[in-house]
Structure 1
Amino acid sequence: MSDLTPLAEPAPAATPYDWIGGEPAVRGLVDRFYDLMDLEPRYADLRVLHPSTLDGSRDKLFWFLSGWLGGPDLYQQRFGHPRLRARHLPYAIGVRERDQWMACMEQAMNECALDPLLVTRLKASFANTADWMRNRGV
């Protein structure tokens, strides 16, 4: 009889924040998202909605996603409830902007080599939120 016990399967991550890889991976995802938005012409309609420098946008999305994914509520600690729709009402967000946001985020997730199962789950959640942010029909 052997005194070796079989290796247990690794426990699943407790939250999507853990699954992604915590703070450095969330920051990397956000940075890649904004790098792509700044560099890729196909995201031009999305880019024009943002300030000339993306530093503040990068921080706000990083703070928001940290809490939204189950990590520290950095955004809420700084600004209170996110009120996403209300905060985005000043910007004309239609189908084109929604679709560019989704395509840019999907490209960033893929380039950051996130687990494909996690990407599938996040895409569904992001799609619901992105569609909810629309404030014009086209």
Structure 2
Amino acid sequence: MTYNRNKPVPEQQQSAFDALGGEEVLSRLVDTFYQHISSHEEVRHLFPADLTETAAKQKKFLTQFLGGPPLYTETFGHPRLRARHMPFIITPVQAEAWLSCMAHAMDDIGLSGPLREHMMHRFTLTAHHMINHPTPR
């Protein structure tokens, strides 16, 4: 805790984006994640063959999602995640496959500990919120 004129002021907590290592590490995470996505039979069909634009959008979104600058909103408007994903059938199997790809990407870049746990918790909540079809297809 820091003090300002004899009043305790809580220290500002570092954002997950900054704790991760900012843009450089986030970019490595997303690129690694999409390498796993491109070879995962449960989810690769949900994505275009060329993942360049998808990865760029994901980097902007995750920067914002993890407490960094609001790059996604500045470029595309409010994320409206569930609405943007409605055109795609997302089952529990696909949500878990997405999470598995992210976990593998985190393994690959050496992300561990409380930050990883925090991020996976948030990703899990979001992935489960994206489910719009109850049965596997």
Select 1:120's aligned residue among 112, 117, 131: 117
Quote the residue 1:85 is aligned against.
82
TM-score, structure 1 length as denominator? 0.86
Select 1:73's aligned residue among 64, 67, 70: 70
Deviates more, 1:81-90 or 1:116-125: 116-125
Deviates more, 1:73-82 or 1:110-119: 110-119
Determine helix, strand or coil for the equivalent of 2:43.
helix
Q: Percent identity?
A: 37
Determine helix, strand or coil for the equivalent of 2:88.
coil
TM-score, structure 2 length as denominator? 0.87
Partners of 1:26 and 1:13 in 2: how far apart?
A: 19
Structure 1 gaps of 5+ residues are: 1-10
Task: Using the TM superposition, give the Cα deviation of residue 12 of structure 1 relative to its aligned residue in structure 2, in angstroms.
Answer: 9.0
- Cα deviations across residues 27-63 of structure 1 (Å, max 9, x unaligned)? 1100000011123xxx212110111110111011100
Partners of 2:112 and 2:37 in 1: how far apart?
A: 22
- How many residue pairs end up in the alignment? 125
Quote the residue 2:92 is aligned against.
95
- Cα deviations across residues 99-135 of structure 1 (Å, max 9, x unaligned)? 1000000111121111321111111111100000000
Task: Using the TM superposition, give the Cα deviation of residue 13 of structure 1 relative to its aligned residue in structure 2, in angstroms.
Answer: 6.1
Tell me how large the CA RMSD over aligned residues is: 1.5
Partners of 1:116 and 1:105 in 2: how far apart?
A: 15
Question: Which residues of 2 match residues 1-138 of structure 1 at below 5 A?
Answer: 14-39=14-39, 43-138=40-135
Partners of 1:114 and 1:13 in 2: how far apart?
A: 19
Q: Which has the higher strand share?
A: 2
Distance 1:103 1:12, change over 3 A: farther
Partners of 1:122 and 1:12 in 2: how far apart?
A: 19
One-letter amino acid of the structure 2 residue matched with residue 16 of structure 1:
A
Partners of 1:115 and 1:103 in 2: how far apart?
A: 15
Structure 2 gaps of 5+ residues are: 1-10
The answer to whether the 8 A contact 1:37-1:46 is kept is: yes
